Structure 1
């Protein structure tokens, strides 16, 4: 493959936000382009105006930006093949549909929806499926069964669609980079609509023309387009063009086994399916995405890349540049892949960056007007980083290094509210006060020998942290220092006395 020949496109429809499947398609196109020194194009396939949803286009652009996979050319970026929105290219499609009509590869069809519904019912009654194809088209209301004059009159008075004329009895060979060789019998294909009655080109016609004119070399898209690929290849041939290489990606399936991930099942899932938040235009309801839930873009991209592709290395944690270097379409799985939110969380944990956590924690203590040394902050992060999956979780796991607990775990606190606890804490306080070397090592040795060691440790934890959770209590004592630790124990004693 020559270094600068690869041209790929990500071509979403603006019918709402991108979900995980669409985002992975964009990512694979991007990785493939960059691997081969090629061009990644963003085209917006907006011919279906009925399904158009406002803000979809800006959402797509913002999502690609957040994931650091920005296009080289296309909508929002310009380029030599403008316009990159299909709704601005109707005149181009009209020109090529006329060529297909002239060459006899397409024909006008005047059947109304009612006519076709009637036919479907007739077929259903015989237990058959109606298909507008070579076996039946000569018995239907189209230009193939009319004289030129009849056609001329019809075109002036009736609405119509333009269909592709499939030649029966052919064995069509096609190759898919992921799935290998496929043979299609053209007897099983129907005459798909290329131009709708409102004069708008369908996906089949528009994307074929655009891919050719934009010099697309590889079409990498979801497997739902596999059944239509034979028609697309026939369209290329009818127009005298060489088809691009095709690669159809496996579906992303729900972990519970209930079908593929899609926008329709957003509400029934216990994990996000959008990269960034989406505001539903009609209701203004906000559905959070991975960005808002605290996932790092590099972790999200790493997770998504390995959802159906095996890089062939032992490591799973890979930077965008490493993903580019390793990427290959041949290593993509054929079968559907299961999405697992636990795995996504694991990727995020592995991508956590101490510098970013430092900035976040620094802001948190600044908000509370707490001052502390950089070394202390770094030490706190080092002690607590293994306990978190997201940057925003750092405060709940480290607050006790900076501030007194604002309350105490109720169940345990109520259990210990008696005089005996007070004397235990008073004795422990004296031991701490008399220590010369206030380090975790010396503290551990000292309390190793005390009676009720376990209970004392729990009381210390309650006094210092407020809950029976957190890192090693002796390390907390050392970090807070003698004075602060004793003050927190005194506060707990006071609270117990108040309760008694």
Structure 2
């Protein structure tokens, strides 16, 4: 196996959402393939025809695209390969590694009851039946599993996992209607796709034992198994709706960036020393499947938010403005031409405190307000005071004379004004902030005025002074 070029795959079923666990599995497959200079593939396991709608399949492609995981070959659709699956079953029958099972539904129910009572697995009486006794009725095809000994799953994460063959029943390969079953289809598809490493959730560990037997029966190379630990909620329980988001699209809707999710998901079960923040290139260089821990990982919202804030602070403001515009439009906020540019100009002054793009959208609202702004009642009452009104009027004149309309220039202008008035910033700063923002959240005064621009800032001050004249 080590001499073959590495080929990994993600093989989701179209269920209408891409679970965060599936996204993490896709990421680990992608990172390992890139780390080893191999190929990362996609197979859509769409044999459940009722659930496998075009929309459900699109969720898979859109989720991988949003997460930034590009596959190296066209996707394979499992349902389209049913004839190939049946061909493999025919080979197993010819090899004597499978058999026809003519048990009726009633007979199968009775055998299950007997097996349960005896503490054994189901065994069909047709396993070694003489072909001359075969009846003329539909039949399933079962794998002729070993009756004794053991099957060892050599797992890159969990080590060797041993299954006693007496606990493994004769797996159905083909149903009586001729449709292939999951474990058979997975083995045939992985073999034909040249998959060298099967990296998936550890809820598939039992399947690995049965699939190993199928590989052996067909005399095919067994891939390297690597079963990932589950992702639990913050309380250590199985991740569920009570913990918040489960689907990748929900994290997108909640304002998390894809680079955040790549970094964060990589840390769920794997790590590189004490490094918490790393680039895609570093993750590819460092990632090895043998370094994945076997214990379940826990979703930590505080860490996720901290990481997202980091990437928001690093992101291109123009890109963030595009995301913010989508959010504002979804809230039915009326936008006019030029607002996206204004938002991009504002983002550098407000993003340090934003944990998500939703919070970022809240933080830019102050620059979008139309004049005249509605001032908070408290601010209107304060401006009615002649002393404060006069001070704001003098402040307006001082600001108009500032030649460098930037954060440093405005900070210097505000300091000089406070000194000339013989007061601290607290004597006019809160009122100026309310005048500039209409009471909405806003950055520091210099940042707010830089974002608004000279004309808009002075215009808002003029409006406030005229209201209280």
Which band: TM-score by shorter chain? 0.7 to 0.9
Matched, 1:149 2:149: no
Contact 1:404 1:488 in 2 (8 A): no
- Residue of structure 2 equivalent to 1:384: 350
User: How many correspondences in the alignment?
Assistant: 452
Report the Cα offset of residue 468 of structure 1: 6.5
Contact 2:313 2:352 in 1 (8 A): no
Distance in 2 (CA, whole Å) between partners of 1:231 and 1:380 is: 58
- Residue of structure 2 equivalent to 1:308: 269
- Residue of structure 1 equivalent to 2:311: 351
Pairing of 1:288-307 with structure 2 (within 5 A): 289-307=250-268
Report the Cα offset of residue 423 of structure 1: 1.5
Distance in 1 (CA, whole Å) between partners of 2:411 and 2:339 is: 24
Q: Secondary structure at the match of 2:122?
A: coil
Distance in 1 (CA, whole Å) between partners of 2:91 and 2:3 is: 34
Report the Cα offset of residue 393 of structure 1: 4.8
Pairing of 1:49-448 with structure 2 (within 5 A): 49-75=49-75, 84-121=76-113, 131-133=121-123, 137-138=124-125, 142-144=126-128, 146-151=129-134, 154=135, 156-157=136-137, 159-261=138-240, 265=241, 268=242, 270-271=244-245, 273-276=246-249, 289-312=250-273, 314-352=274-312, 356-358=316-318, 361=321, 368-369=336-337, 380-391=346-357, 393-394=359-360, 396-400=362-366, 407-408=373-374, 410=376, 413=377, 415=378, 418=381, 421-432=384-395, 435=398, 438=402, 439-444=410-415, 446-447=417-418
Q: Secondary structure at the match of 2:316?
A: helix
Report the Cα offset of residue 357 of structure 1: 1.7
Report the Cα offset of residue 250 of structure 1: 1.0
1:464 corresponds, among 436, 446, 449, to 436
* TM-score, length-scaled by structure 2: 0.82
Unaligned runs of 5+ in 1: 76-83, 277-288
Report the Cα offset of residue 351 of structure 1: 1.9
Contact 1:17 1:274 in 2 (8 A): yes
Q: Secondary structure at the match of 2:283?
A: helix
Aligned in 2, Cα 1:21/1:354: closer, same or farther, shift over 3 Å? closer
Report the Cα offset of residue 434 of structure 1: 6.0
Aligned in 2, Cα 1:440/1:108: closer, same or farther, shift over 3 Å? same
Report the Cα offset of residue 232 of structure 1: 1.4
* TM-score, length-scaled by structure 1: 0.78
